[in-house]
Each structure stands twice: as C-alpha cells, then as structure tokens.
C-alpha cells in the first residue's frame, strides 16, 4: 500500500518545521502533565484541598491537550514522539520531587508553565511564518491555557 500525498497547502518543509516545534510543545506539555499529576497526589499541608483541586483542574486540561497536539503532528504527516526517551530529549522540564513542600511545588510548576509558554511562542512563530493557521490556532489556545495556569499558581502563592 502506498502512502497518500499530503496536499493541504503547506510544503513538506513547512510541515516538518512546524512538527518539530509541535513535538517540543508536546514533550514540555507531557512533562508538565506528569509533574502536575504527581504533585496533585503528593501535595500536603493546611491548604491541601485547595492545591489538590487546583492541580487536578490543570492536569486534566493538559491531558486533553496532549491528544490534540499529537494528532496535529500526525495530520501534518509526521509521527508524534511517544517514548520517555523521545520526550526527555525534547523537553527542558525537570522531573518533580514529591518530598518538596507545597509552596515549592507550586513555584516550580509556575516556572514550568512559563517554560511551556516560551516553547508555545516559539512554535507559534514558526507555524505563523509557514502559514499553518491550524497550528497557530492550536498553539494560541495552549498558550492561553498555560498563561492562565501560571497566573493561577502565581496568585495562589500571593503574587500578581
């Protein structure tokens, strides 16, 4: 069986450029998902329920977004990264530590969301330059979500 040609108005090079960036967004998002879910399980202290519920809202949103990002990579004709080693090579997010106290967990997650924001912005620029409006739309939505998550964590910690 022969592969069908992809004719969506983007060249192979443009699709490849965008999927390379989307793969980084996927890897960073997966890393933040894992850390957020782990901190949800392991957070403790007098604000347990507040933190536990906040982190659950965030990891659920990120989980759903992972599929959207991976499916966009596939729609562009590339394979989405799927292994731990592939994600580890693409992400700059460090693993979480369940021994940390709650404020430290939240500060770390806030910074991680800022990292994902930077990754999304870089990918958005490439997608926009290459005329990939669908990826621009997806990345704009993810950018808004991670900016909101960073703000919620910052505000929970008493910042602006």
Q: Compute the average pLDDT of residues 56-65.
A: 98
Question: Tens digits of per-residue pLDDT, 41-60?
Answer: 999 999 999 999 999 999 99
**Nearest alpha-carbon partner for 76 in 155, 10, 142:** 10
pLDDT surpassing 70 at residue 1: no
pTM for the model stands at 0.95
Average pLDDT, the chain: 96
Rounded to 10°, the helix 133-156/48-75 angle is 170
Question: Tens digits of per-residue pLDDT, 115-143?
Answer: 999 999 999 999 999 999 999 999 999 99
Q: Delimit the domains of the chain by residue range.
A: 12-156
> In sequence order, what DSSP letters do the residues of the chain get, joined into one string?
-PPPPP-SS--HHHHHHHHHHHHHHHHHHHHHHHHHHHHHHH--STTHHHHHHHHHHHHHHHHHHHHHHHHHHHHTTSPPP-SHHHHHHH--PPPP-TTS-HHHHHHHHHHHHHHHHHHHHHHHHHHHHTT-HHHHHHHHHHHHHHHHHHHHHHHHTT--
User: Which class would CATH give 12-156?
Assistant: mainly alpha
Q: Residue 5: its pLDDT value, please? A: 87
Res. 151 pLDDT band, cuts 50 70 90: very high
What percent of the chain shows pLDDT beyond 90?
A: 94
């Amino acid at each position: 069986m022969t592969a069908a040609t992809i004719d969506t108005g983007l060249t192979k090079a443009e699709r490849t450029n965008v999927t390379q960036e989307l793969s980084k967004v996927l890897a960073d998002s997966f890393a933040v998902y894992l850390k957020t879910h782990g901190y949800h399980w392991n957070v403790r202290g007098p604000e347990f329920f507040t933190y536990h519920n906040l982190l659950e809202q965030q990891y659920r949103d990120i989980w759903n977004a992972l599929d959207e990002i991976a499916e966009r990579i596939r729609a562009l004709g590339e394979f989405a990264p799927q292994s731990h080693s592939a994600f580890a090579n693409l992400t700059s997010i460090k693993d979480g530590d369940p021994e940390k106290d709650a404020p430290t967990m939240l500060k770390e997650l806030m910074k991680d969301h800022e990292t994902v924001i930077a990754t999304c912005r870089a990918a958005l620029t490439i997608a926009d330059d290459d005329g990939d409006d669908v990826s621009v739309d997806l990345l704009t939505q993810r950018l808004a979500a991670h900016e909101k998550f960073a703000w919620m964590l910052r505000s929970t910690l008493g910042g602006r």
